[in-house]
Amino acid sequence: MAINPTPLPTSLPNNKRPSLNLKLEDRYKVYSTKYIKNFTGKNYAPNKKSWYISFMVILGLDSSTSVTGWAFSKDGKVLDAGYIDTKKLETTKEKTYFVISELEKNQLIKNVTVINLEAALSGFAGGFTSQQVIITLARHNAVFAYIIEEHFKIKVNLLSVNTMRKQLFGKCRIKGIKSKEFVKSELELLCPDVVKFTILNKKGNWDERNGDMYDGIVCSLYKDEPQQNNRVSKKDKSISRKR
């Protein structure tokens, strides 16, 4: 009889976070006693990433040279979200370490096992951004991802905005609607509770930086599902050649 795993209320120490870089069997051997009670069932042999997903807190990030949107989620539920204004800082290094210092003020950071970051060039297919801006954002994202990964010792997943939106909304855009407006309308339909994380500006209107937070939420809600092996075997190749 398989024993259903039960997560413990205590989190792992900062230097003992499980990483998806480890092999699946090694991950369970090292960290099972921290996360699971009575992990002794002989018939229970976890072999799917989907089982591990139910125990992890995902940190989603959308970083630009002026604002970084962030969100923590677990089991498809947004736990906390916000944005960090970094436009007054000069270098990408300063901006990244400031973001880290702000994230570490949140208790949820201790339970993060996956970090998703929106890829720099994935949102600029419409031709509305100059080449120089694209290059600047690409450089920023590369340095940002490297420092985040080195600091938290967790692999940063660079994800296409189209891939994430298709998984959550079933489509990545609607013709005639701006990207930020599309995400706002679709995300609030999917998760109405995200409205509580939004901030109003001094005039009492919706702050535009909430759009970066919403992009961070999209990153945090994305789950990397195991993909099927689509490689063609040698036998199939030989059959196709005969035909």
What is the tens place of the pLDDT at every residue in 126-135? 555 567 777 8
Do 40 and 65 share a domain, yes or no? no
Cβ contact 117:159 at 8 Å: yes
Q: Is 182 helix (H, G, I), strand (E, B) or coil?
A: helix
User: Per-residue pLDDT tens for 196-206?
Assistant: 999 999 888 99
User: Tokens representing 174?
Assistant: 């609607």
**Same domain? 134 vs 203:** yes
Instruction: Say if residue 33 is in the same domain as residue 129.
Output: no
Q: Nearest CA to 107 among 9, 221, 193, 187? A: 9
Q: Report the CATH number at residue 102.
A: 3.30.420.10
User: What single string gives the DSSP state of each residue in 43-97?
Assistant: T-----HHHHHTTPEEEEEEE-SSEEEEEEEETTEEEEEEEEE-TT--SHHHHHH
39, 69: one domain:
no
Do residues 31 and 86 share a domain?
no
Give residue 42's domain range.
20-53
Instruction: Kindly state whether residue 14 falls inside one of the protein's structural domains.
Output: no
> What total number of domains does the chain contain?
2
Domain match, 45 and 89 both = no
Q: How many CB atoms lie within 10 A of CB 51?
A: 13
Question: Are both 43 and 65 inside the same structural domain?
Answer: no
Q: What is the pLDDT of residues 150-189, one digit of tens each?
A: 999 999 999 999 999 999 999 988 988 998 999 999 999 9
User: Considering the domain boundaries, does residue 238 fall inside one?
Assistant: no
Residues 65 and 160 in one domain: yes
* Torsions phi, psi for 57 (to 5 deg): -100, 125
Q: For residue range 44-100, what is the model confidence (pLDDT) as tens digits?
A: 344 444 444 446 899 999 999 999 999 999 999 999 999 999 999 999 999 999 999
* Same-domain check for residues 143 and 87: yes
